[in-house]
Amino acid sequence: MGKMILITYEDEIKELEYPTGNSEWSKLTEYIGNDCSLLEHVQPRRLYTRIGASLAIKDTAGSKVSMLVDEEFTYHCDDDKINKIASWLYETDRHGYLIRGNALIVGERYKGMEVSFCAMSDEQFDIVYPKLKELEMLLASDKE
């Protein structure tokens, strides 16, 4: 099993194992929480420009990363569950559209002629995870 990253609305960054098998979709929506049933695939600009994640799919599965959020968060996510880190990645400060609830950073790969989600490559995880942990620490110090 490979890795993915959970960004919680409580400003926590957690390493998780990417789910495999028939329960993959249900596990991803479970990690997002709040009765999520429809995932939205997001490619937040700052994930690539500020964090340094790859935007190009290469031969290695998970060599490109993206973010998954709840497509319908406005219907079943409390207003106080603003995800500050995911919203910053998404450039909410520029356009005003917030990310609420949890978000996942996952890998992508070609599967036949389609792009599908998968675990992050070790290379991408080693780039993204430490930088997101830095953001977590910055937000934690602001709360003190």
pLDDT tens digits along 36-75:
778 889 999 999 999 999 998 888 889 999 999 987 665 5
Greatest mean pLDDT among 22-31, 45-54, 93-102 lies in: 45-54
Q: Distances in Å between the alpha carbon of 84 and those of 10, 21, 89, 97, 100?
A: 8, 31, 9, 12, 8
pLDDT at residue 10 is higher than 80? yes
Residue 77 in this model has a pLDDT that exceeds 60: no
Instruction: Tell me how long the chain is.
Output: 144
Residue 96 pLDDT > 80, yes or no? Answer: yes
- pTM across the whole model: 0.92
Q: What percent of the chain has pLDDT over 70?
A: 93
On the question of pLDDT at 95 being above 60, the answer is yes
Question: Please, what is the average pLDDT of the chain?
Answer: 89
